[in-house]
Amino acid sequence: MNNYINKAVSAREQHIKDKSLSMQLGIVERPFRLEYLLNKFDELSQLKHLDQWELVSHIWIDSENPSVNLDIWLWLFNHLGTSPSLSDEYFQSLPEQITLYRGGLLNGLSWTNDLTKARWFANRFKPENPEIWQITINKSDVIHFTDERNESEFIVSPKSINHPIRAN
């Protein structure tokens, strides 16, 4: 049995080595993708800026609970520099000050300008007292924006969050 498992692991490792970083990350199980990406950081750094952001954004979106690794995500976002999403037509059309909401615990990077979506996040695990937070920030405080899952998700550094209020 051990021989069979070792052969299977070896075959998988070889399969992963032969793929692009994006393909490798698709093979790695979800909970380990961020760690894998960090271990392949040199390879990530060789990609074009836009490709780096697309890959990191995909891993972010696919993470079930990225708040567990806040410091790592902040470091990674900071290292990548300005997100191309901030040049997006929709993002550029927003006013200089934007009101955002967060459903659930206050500590996290994900915010939305869609109050209905924030309510959904606040209630998705059916807590006794769901929380919805509201902030108003400068558009320049946004690290990254994505609407890939129709969530109007704004990534905001906790340092930019001053005076959050309960919105519920």
pLDDT at 15: 66
DSSP the chain: -HHHHHHHHHHHHHHHHTS-HHHHHHHS-GGGHHHHHHHTHHHHHTS-HHHHHHHHHHHHHH-S-GGGGHHHHHHHHHHH-S-GGGGSHHHHHS-SEEEEEEES-S-SSEEES-HHHHHHHHHTT--SS--EEEEEEEGGGEEEEE-TTSS-EEEE-GGG--S-EE--
Residue range 71-79: mean pLDDT, rounded: 96
> For 131-153, what is each residue's pLDDT tens digit?
999 999 999 999 999 999 999 99
Distance CA 68, CA 64 (A): 10
Q: Tell me the one-letter amino acid at 24.
A: Q
pLDDT at 18: 65
- Encoded tokens for 155: 């990534």
Q: Report the 10 Å Cβ neighbour count for 165.
A: 9
What does pTM read for this prediction?
0.87
| Nearest in space to 165 (alpha carbons), one of 118, 95, 126, 96 | 118
Q: Which residues pair with 132 in a beta bridge?
A: 103
> For 109-125, what is each residue's pLDDT tens digit?
999 999 999 999 999 99
Q: What is the 3-state secondary structure (H, E, C) of 69-81?
A: HHHHHHHHHHHHC
